[in-house]
DNA sequence: GATGAATGAGATTTCATTCAT
DNA sequence: TATGAATGAAATCTCATTCAT
């Protein structure tokens, strides 16, 4: 890579970082190209040269943000063997990820509000998602060991994991008011991780019992 | 109420309806006053006469949408006596509300993305919320009957109920892709209601057991 | 005059008073019909019924304001006989009038900025102006008594009287800054009246001398 | 200065010239940004890029117009030595300036009608004013040579000079009607310059005499 | 006569995008 | 590649005026 190319890459990265801040904060419509350029310390014409349009830049940001999920892979493979503990860790890791990546949460929200348009157009769903991948494996393994019944609906577990984790951050502003607490506090997050884990496990066991009694 | 006043109310209502559609769809920034006026079949000046600014109109819509929660009261008071059945009904009612009121879901999302600014400014949190009110009562009653342990963390139940219900609709666009199903279908919603109920109950019982064994 | 007519007159007067405040303060373009109506506590439609248009109302105000000059007549006829004292009094009266009628000063300024359009259209120049009328008489009388030379240019006296009096109030905002004093203070006004009088007299005498020596 | 910068300056100058015409003619409120842009042959967005707002542009024009006073410096330093002649020249120069710069007169009028708001905000009073500066020097010198008494109130001279000169142009539209002459004519201006000078001198001498007799 | 609602045209300002260098 | 100037379209909001009762 030549010096020139490296400079170009640096420029693009600066733009993307700036754009991530702006887009995640204000969305595709609330955000201003001027502001992105200003924060990236480049001029608008350059931004357009590299990304063609505001919308394309937005999509690039979406992809970039989503890709970070992939970085969880290492953490996820090194989980304990016991499936209860594994599940607990998985929830923990997901919560931590959402806590560390507020722009992920917000971009997903913008996407949902926008009919997941860019999400679909850029095939973001294909992005490696170690959390869900591992949840699937946990269930599969448990099934094999008959820890959970064959009939378990793994979608419900996925939906519950996502709901309890994602919603905690996505709706934090209103939830804080509703429960009258600062849910950002480590203590409260910890409690919620615990409860989420218990819920998932309880759901599994409940099903198990039903299965047994059936 | 005079004829004149009735006409005025009708005009305001037309504007509010139009604004609700536009704001819930595109948010405060993505939406255009021109379009709201066009849909309401009034001119912009009139809209400004009645609502002063785009932002005030937005807040009015937020309040209006949120107020609909209150209409659930009748349904909620007529619940069965058994607390398990009650909980099931509550989840069912909430899911149905969110299904019937997509603009509620979206407005809450916009608010969260915007730091719940208008939510706070208009004291929307004070709005009657029969769902959460009833959930509180269910837990209280259960406690009295010792169906659930004293130590139960009711916040976790609230957060779970909201998360599992709200997130199902708020993130539907991306969830549909992730689970590869159309979650809007009655069948899938029904399953999710079932799972959510079971989760809540299992969580309660789990705690109960822990309590017992402790 | 019937009760109804009296009410109507009262309404018109209220509008005119309000309009005078607004127009003199902000001019024809800076002022808002809404505001005039609000201050007059009538609605706009009524205002239009009585005055047809913003511009006509403006002209009405101009005439009204200018007419107040006429009220000086009584004061002016009762002047002392000595022409020096008369002149002094005249200056004093004019200063007092301008001090008491800031809207006169401002309306004349707006008119000048606007090419005296309304001034001409409404023939405001025809309005009785006891100050100038009396100044003319003073000069005439003085001429007869040979107190001043025949050749005196009375226009110069008129222009000086107006300039020294009017400009003191019309440019007060900038003059205050230039001379670093509050020219509104009675003390400073008094000094200026004195100086203006002396100037007029000195001018007369100077001319006289020239005449004499010629 | 690069070519680019020169172009930019040219654009700004074109806008300022256009704005001066419009603002001086119609004032801050009567004037339209559209029109300024049209006359300057640029589009509105560019105008805003360079000047931020209509009001800032107005202030820039005010400063620009006022600065022209400074250009009189050369003329003013080369005055004759005799103080009577000096004074005469000063009046002549000031009249000529006001005649040549109608937008100066009008901007000062707008400012006074607007409470000298922009005048104060931009510290326009600090602008070099060779006329008043020189008038001060003339009086000082005269005092030293005892041509005029120590007690002379120089403010009165300043106010008279400004009043007689400025008012001649600021109120020309109404004065023309009052005196029934076209005061713009060179002949009439000349007479007025003569009268103003005599007035100032007469005032000085009158005071002198008083002083002498005292 | 009097009112409050309603209107159309237009004001200032903003924004995504392109041009010229 | 990179830049600052420039643009056209459109956004929010305002205002003199008229309508309907």
Chain A contact set for B158 (CB, 8 A): 178-179
DSSP characters over C13-26: HHHHHHHHHHHHHH
Chain C, chain D: beta-carbon pairs less than 8 Å apart = 164
| Of D21, D40, D41, nearest in space to D31 by CA | D21
> Å from D61 (CA) to F8 (C1')?
27
Whether the pLDDT of residue A209 is over 80: the answer is no
**B147-184 core/surface letters (b: 16 or more CB in 10 A; e: else):** ebbeebebbbbbbbbbbbbbbbbbbbbbbbbbbeeebe
Q: Are A211 and A149 in contact (CB under 8 A)?
A: yes
pLDDT, position D160: 96
Whether the pLDDT of residue A151 is over 90: the answer is no
Q: Which residues between 105 and 134 in chain B have a beta carbon less than 8 angstroms from any beta carbon of chain A?
A: 106, 108-113, 115-116, 119-120, 125, 132
Element (DSSP H or E) covering residue C201:
helix C186-213
Whether the pLDDT of residue D48 is over 70: the answer is yes
Whether the pLDDT of residue A212 is over 60: the answer is no
pLDDT category, C1, cuts 50, 70, 90? low
pLDDT, position B214: 44
Q: Where are the alpha helices (DSSP H) in C130-185?
A: 130-144, 154-170, 172-179
SS3 string, chain B, reads: CCHHHHHHHHHHHHHHHHHHHHHHHHHHHHCCHHHHHHHHCCCHHHHHHHHCCHHHHHHHHHHHHHHHHHHHHHHHHCCCCCHHHHHHHHHHHHHHHHHHCHHHHHHHHHHHHCCCHHHHHCCHHHCCCHHHHHHHHHHHHHHHCCCCCCCCCHHHHHHHHHHHHHHHHHCHHHHHHHHCCCCCCHHHHHHHHHHHHHHHHHHHHHHHHHHHHC
Q: Are B166 and B196 in contact (CB under 8 A)?
A: no
pLDDT, position A78: 77
Q: Where do the domains of chain D lie, and which CATH numbers do they carry?
A: 3-52 (1.10.10.60), 66-213 (1.10.357.10)
CA distance D37 to D47: 7
CA distance C176 to C189: 12
DSSP C171: T
Taking CB atoms and an 8 Å limit, are C125 and D179 in contact across chains? no
CA distance A106 to D190: 76
Which nucleotides of chain E does any protein CB come within 7 A of? 1-21
CA distance C196 to D157: 10
Taking CB atoms and an 8 Å limit, are D108 and C174 in contact across chains? yes
pLDDT, position D147: 78
Which nucleotides of chain F does any protein CB come within 7 A of? 1-21
pLDDT, position D210: 55
Strand F surroundings (CB within 7 A): A 4, 7-8, 11, 42-46, 49; B 3-4, 31-34, 44-45, 48, 53-55; C 31-34, 44-45, 48, 53-55; D 4, 7-8, 11, 42-46, 49-50
| Of D207, D196, D208, nearest in space to D87 by CA | D196
Q: Are C84 and C141 in contact (CB under 8 A)?
A: no
Tens-digit pLDDT profile for residues B89-100: 999 999 999 999
Q: Cβ of B42 < 7 Å from strand E?
A: yes
> Å from A168 (CA) to E8 (C1')?
49
Tens-digit pLDDT profile for residues A45-101: 999 999 999 999 999 999 999 999 999 999 998 777 788 898 999 999 999 999 999
**Mean model confidence pLDDT for chain A:** 91
Q: Which residues between 166 and 205 in chain D have a beta carbon less than 8 angstroms from any beta carbon of chain C?
A: 166-168, 170-179, 181, 191-192, 195-196, 198-199, 201-203, 205
Whether the pLDDT of residue C80 is over 50: the answer is yes
| Of B26, B91, B105, B12, nearest in space to B57 by CA | B12
Whether the pLDDT of residue D81 is over 60: the answer is yes
Q: Dihedral sign, CA of B117, B123, B129, B134?
A: positive
CA distance C119 to D18: 28
Tens-digit pLDDT profile for residues B147-179: 777 778 899 999 999 999 999 999 999 999 999
pTM value is: 0.92
pLDDT, position C214: 44
pLDDT-above-70 percentage for chain B: 96
Residue A97: count other Cβ atoms within 10 Å of its Cβ: 20
pLDDT-above-90 percentage for chain D: 76
**C38-74 core/surface letters (b: 16 or more CB in 10 A; e: else):** eebebeeeebeebbeebeebbbbbbbbbbeebeebee
Q: What is the pLDDT averaged over residues A181-188?
A: 97
Element (DSSP H or E) covering residue A179:
helix A172-179
Chains contacting A (3 or more CB pairs within 8 Å): B
pLDDT-above-70 percentage for chain D: 96
pLDDT category, D207, cuts 50, 70, 90? low
DSSP A92: H
pLDDT, position D214: 45
Q: What is the pLDDT averaged over residues A134-163?
A: 88
Taking CB atoms and an 8 Å limit, are A109 and B112 in contact across chains? yes
Q: Are C86 and C138 in contact (CB under 8 A)?
A: yes
Residue D63: count other Cβ atoms within 10 Å of its Cβ: 17
């Amino acid at each position: 890579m030549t010096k020139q190319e490296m400079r170009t890459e640096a420029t693009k990265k600066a733009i993307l970082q700036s754009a991530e801040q702006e887009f995640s904060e204000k969305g595709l419509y609330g955000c201003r190209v001027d502001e992105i350029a200003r924060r990236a310390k480049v001029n608008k014409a350059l931004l357009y040269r590299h990304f063609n349009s505001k919308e394309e830049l937005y999509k690039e940001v979406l992809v970039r943000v989503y890709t970070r999920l992939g970085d969880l892979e290492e953490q996820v493979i090194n989980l304990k063997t016991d499936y209860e503990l594994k599940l607990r860790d998985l929830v923990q890791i997901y919560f931590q990820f959402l806590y560390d990546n507020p722009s992920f949460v917000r971009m997903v929200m913008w996407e949902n509000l926008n009919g997941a348009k860019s999400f679909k157009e850029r095939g973001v769903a294909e992005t490696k998602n170690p959390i869900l991948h591992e949840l699937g494996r946990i269930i599969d393994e448990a099934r094999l060991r008959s820890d959970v019944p064959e009939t378990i609906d793994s979608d419900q577990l996925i939906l519950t994991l996502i709901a309890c984790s994602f919603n905690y951050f996505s709706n934090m502003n209103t939830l804080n008011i509703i429960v009258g607490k600062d849910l950002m506090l480590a203590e409260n997050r910890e409690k919620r991780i615990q409860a989420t884990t218990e819920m998932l496990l309880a759901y599994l066991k409940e099903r198990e019992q039903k299965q047994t009694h059936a």
